[in-house]
Amino acid sequence: MPEDYDDNLSVLVSEVVSWEKELRCFILDRQIQTTSIYLRGKETQRAQGFYASPSELKAAEAMVNEILSDQSVEIPRAAVIDVGVIEDRGWAVVEMNSAWGAGIYGCHPHQVLNVLRYATVS
């Protein structure tokens, strides 16, 4: 354990998984503003123009909306939630990111800017 951390610090440990695809959702006030695929297999999707089928986007947004509808899950007003499909398992949360530090990939830039407006305090 690094010396700057308390010996009683909780650590989340997970098995290694293989992601089939990963998508990013920019969130504002528990509502999805824009969504983009960013990884398929082990390849980023920039060369493919971040294309995701309507059914892929719908499935990712359904997963995120399930999380957003659970009021016991604390979510900042402006955030990014990444979800994906684990090989042979199904949908899962990859991580949550600060909106101001997340790449936009193929997300709609105006929607991203609207989220960013609320992700900072002036």
CB atoms closer than 10 angstroms to residue 19: 16
pLDDT for the residue 90: 97
pLDDT of residue 10: 85
Which residue range(s) make up the domain with 71?
19-119
- Reported as type and span, the H/E element at residue 110 is helix 109-119
**CB of 84 closer than 8 Å to CB of 91:** yes
pLDDT of residue 122: 59
Whether residue 1 is contained in a domain is answered as no
pTM (2 d.p.)? 0.89
Residue 65 confidence (pLDDT): 98
Question: How much is the pLDDT for 85?
Answer: 98
**23 within some domain:** yes
Residue 6 inside a domain? The answer is no
Q: Which residue has the tokens 């305090």?
A: 121
d(CA 44, CA 16) in angstroms, rounded, equals 19
Whether 9 is in a domain gets the answer no
- Divide the 122 residues of the chain into consecutive groups of 10 and give the mean pLDDT of each group: 80 90 98 98 95 97 98 96 97 96 96 94 66
- What total number of domains does the chain contain? 1
Q: Is residue 13 part of a domain?
A: no
CATH code of the domain in which 87 resides: 3.30.470.20
Residue 69 located in a structural domain:
yes
- Looking at residue 1, its pLDDT comes to 57
Residue entry with tokens 């509808």: 69
Tokens of 64: 């995120």
H/E segment holding residue 61:
helix 54-68
- How many residues are there in the chain? 122
pLDDT of residue 12: 83
